[in-house]
Amino acid sequence: MSLDEIKIGGMGASRRRVEDNRFIRGKGKYVDDVVLPGMLHMEILRSTVAHARIKSIDTSAAWEVPGVRLVLTGEMMAARNLAWMPTLSYDTQAVLATDKVRFQGQEVAAVIADDPYVAKDACAKIVVEYEQLPAIVNPTQAQDPSMPIIRDDKENQPTNKIFEWEIGDKERTDQAFADADVVSTIDLHYPRSHPSPMENCGSIADYDRATGKLTVYMTSQAPHIVRAAVAMVAEIPEHQIRIISPDLGGGFGNKVPIYPGYVISILASILTERPVKWIEDNTGNLISTGFGRDVYLQGQVAMRKDGKILGMRMHTISDHGAFYADAQPTKFKIGLMHSTFACYDIPAAHLTSVGYYTNKAPGGVAYRCSFRVTEAMFFQERMIHAAANDLGMDQAEFRRINLVKDDMFPYRTAFGFLTDSGQYDKCMQVGMEAIGYDTFKQEQEEARKRGKLLGLGISTMTEPLGAGNSREYDIIGIKMFDSAELRIHMTGKAILRTGAKTQGQGHETTWAQIVAHELGIPADDIVVEEGDTDTAPFGMGTYASRSTPVAGAAVAMVARKIRAKARKIAAHLLEVSEEDIEWELGRFYVRGNQERGVTIQDCALAAYSNIPDGMEPGLENNAYYDPPNLTWPFAAYFCKVEVDAETGVWDVLKFVAVDDCGVRINPMIVEGQVMGGLTEAYAMANMQYITFDEEGNCIGSNYMDYLLPTAWETPGFELHEVVTPCPHHPIGAKGIGECATVAGPAAFVNAVMNAIEHTGVRNVDMPLMPNRVFEALQTGKDVSGMPPVKVG
């Protein structure tokens, strides 16, 4: 009899998480929990100003502090050719500043001491003399010829421009606009936002001179990429580098880049011949690491009177900070921004992009986002909202006219992506019914009569997840595939390792479920390991929602290789030819005689004790999976808000999320991902405000100024599901980690705008803080969020 898949924790089981067993006992092992014998502690001194020449650095008083072992400056790094390092976008980034500081919070010096408190004391004794230069805090200033060149360290960098890039068909798009009855325009700023995982970044570097081996514990979402980069920068051969990414306290894209602190700790360990621990403080994390977004989004759609969209054009101006360090697939300078409008049937589209350096920390990381798609979809849904209003058409109806229909798949978008599956209209229907769409307008009118402002916002989108295929997607030349290695022990238990790296997504639980589904081995019998480059197969790591689409597929594929070998063993055990063997979950049997069979565990034992002649012993294998296409989940979100006209404060009355992420491995975990993502979307729309004043001072450098939502503010979410399996993924899954962060913000903003746009206002930039909403209500005018902000 076949096994009950749910009972063995297979696909579709809301299996409770195995990683929880250590976390709920306080036994997780995060970087800061690792203690090595003889370990020293490092603290970084950061620049107090945004743009300045360094006239001098005096470290003599720091050396005097008892317990200090080493003080490092840029000059000392330069002597070892380590003052600069390559970024993941073919730029360079200062490790410790030598000539200039280019953003507030930039790394200027480091102290290594016996104790972290002593290292901090000594840092305070370093004297740096700066000669201040004008700070550039937005792309408009970056274009001003009277402003200084930020990257005067680079040859061939006569301006502050990083790149110009375009994609799409300009002529066809121009024609579409010429043919249009109505053209609608929008101009937005997607502000900087910081991913702010609860755990800050850190590393422990341990160089062993005797063996030549460098081991680094590190908060990294992509440890194999780090290994390759360290091999290039530190000139240590790759086989002598071991990167261990232990438990991560969240990542959200913040832990993809390679930070100066990691590199400094490595050199410090080489010089002191002791393990060196660096744990960033929260302000250090907020002002210097992986910001997301910060891009101006301008665009238009061309429409017929009946609501059909004929074409769209878009222009982005992105602010990357002082170093172009956000990892993007090489071919695409502004990430996958051109996935915008992918869920709509549009004949012509054109995108132009320009990127600038500014005196801000490096920005543009994929903050819970698949390479700029968060910005792409925010623009799309704000544009759609404005266009429907300009046409005088109902928001839902306008979307339903233009969404790609079920029978149009596979559908080639105007920018060239191939979306392959979905039931967009069904998702709309489910959401509309759940939010009470049909009665809302009446409700809104009645409420307005009583002086209450209600609004309803919609956001629909499909996003490209799971980069790559390797033909099109690489990071610094490394192709974006992923891997899994599976070993079945003789008692039928197993260990699985992948090139991904969980940060809370629950890979230890869900990967085992995929193996259980493919092999019938109970999930509890499978241990999953990730993050140690000495043991895990090479992989590109976890970000851009690529784990399930790529590494998850590799897990299924390696299990199928194991099954193929086990089938041969089964034929041997059952003394029939392989063609006469049938499979049911967990068991092979002789065709026509279901009673006569052997379990997968029997085959595992035989692989080590009774193998057919000529067969290699053992039952293990690996798989490298290069996806044929991206996966395309769909989301339809509906948000109902009430805005208080007296204060500009808004409350979410109801939020309905309909997600189609294909086949769900573990529904409980999928829902957890959606709720977490929606909360970050809410946070971006409402309160996560981190910006810069005219001198480049970061406003929002701690959790008192940079507000993250608590349990008290965060609304409840009502989740619904529609399932359209991905046609090319081995288990039909599409990825879900980011859908909610990507589609969510526009739902909140559209809802608030819907409540206040009768005053004539067309746009308020995020975050929609009460003062901005209030100002819009008072003036009926748009409110821009462009820095610099006025302080005091």
Residue 738 near other proteins by CB under 8 A:
no
Could you say which of other proteins, ligand FES, none residue 711 binds, taking C-beta under 5 to 8 angstroms by partner kind?
A: other proteins
Minimum distance from residue 683 beta carbon to other proteins (Å): 9
Nearest position to ligand FES, beta carbon: 198
Compute the CA torsion angle 202, 208, 212, 217 (nearest 10 deg).
-20
Q: How far is the CB of 504 from other proteins (least distance, A)?
A: 3
Min separation Cβ 15 and other proteins, Å: 10
The yes or no reply on residue 506 touching other proteins (CB under 8 A) is yes
Task: Return left, alpha or beta for 116; rule: phi > 0 is left, psi -120 to 50 is alpha, else beta.
Answer: alpha
Cα-Cα-Cα-Cα torsion 747, 749, 754, 759, nearest 10 degrees, comes to -170
What is the closest distance, in whole angstroms, from the C-beta atom of residue 299 to other proteins in the complex?
31
**Catalytic-role residue among 17, 192, 368, 772:** 368
Q: Which does 210 bind (CB under 5 to 8 A by kind): ligand FES, other proteins, none?
A: none
- CB 34 → ligand FES: shortest distance, Å? 18
**CA 595/CA 591 separation, integer angstroms:** 10
Indicate the helix (H) or strand (E) that contains 241.
strand 241-244
Q: How far is the CB of 52 from other proteins (least distance, A)?
A: 27
- Note if 443 is an active site residue: no
- Decide if residue 37 touches other proteins (CB under 8 A): no
Question: What CA–CA distances, in Å, run from 562 to 244, 387, 486, 500, 510?
Answer: 28, 53, 8, 20, 19
Site string for other proteins, 12-31 (x = CB under 8 A): ----xx-xxxxxxxxxxxx-
Q: Can 328 be counted among the known catalytic residues?
A: no
Q: Is 444 a catalytic residue?
A: no
The item of other proteins, ligand FES, none sharing an interface with residue 24, based on CB under 5 to 8 Å by kind, is other proteins
3-state SS, residue 70: strand
Closer CB to other proteins, residue 280 or residue 420?
Answer: 280
247: contact with other proteins by CB under 8 A: yes
Q: Name the catalytic one among 123, 201, 343, 369.
A: 369
Distances in Å between the alpha carbon of 603 and those of 492, 572, 584, 586?
8, 10, 14, 10
Q: Which does 117 bind (CB under 5 to 8 A by kind): other proteins, ligand FES, none?
A: other proteins
Residue numbers at the binding site for ligand FES (CB under 6 A): 198, 250, 504
What's the start-to-end Cα distance of the chain, in Å?
74
Run of H or E residues at 488: strand 482-488
Closer to other proteins by Cβ: residue 16 or 758: 16
For residue 247, the partner it binds in ligand FES, other proteins, none, with Cβ less than 5 to 8 A by kind, is other proteins
Q: Which stretch binds other proteins (CB under 8 A): 290-298, 388-396, 504-512, 554-562?
A: 504-512
Distance CA 86, CA 92 (A): 4
Say which amino acid occupies 724.
T
Q: How far apart are CA 230 and CA 107, in angstroms?
A: 19
Active site residue 369: yes
DSSP of 392-406, one letter per residue? T--HHHHHHHHBPPG
Tell me whether the omega of the peptide bond preceding residue 410 falls within 30 degrees of 0, making it cis.
yes
Minimum distance between the CB of residue 713 and ligand FES, rounded to whole angstroms? 16
Q: How many residues bind other proteins (CB under 8 A)?
A: 60
Q: DSSP strand E in 418-452: where?
A: 418-419
Pairing relationship of beta strands 276-279 and 40-46 according to DSSP bridges: parallel
Q: 20 or 446, CB closer to ligand FES?
A: 20
- Residue 198: partners with Cβ closer than 8 Å, 6 or more residues away: 249, 250
CA distances from 48 to 104, 151, 288, 345, 781 (A): 5, 19, 12, 50, 36
Spatial distance between the Cα atoms of 221 and 542, rounded to a whole number of angstroms:
6
The residues carrying an active-site annotation are 221, 368-369, 738
Binding positions for other proteins, rule: CB under 8 A: 16-17, 19-30, 32-33, 35, 66-67, 114-118, 196-200, 247-250, 252, 281-282, 503-506, 668-669, 671-672, 675-680, 702-704, 708, 710-712, 714, 716-717
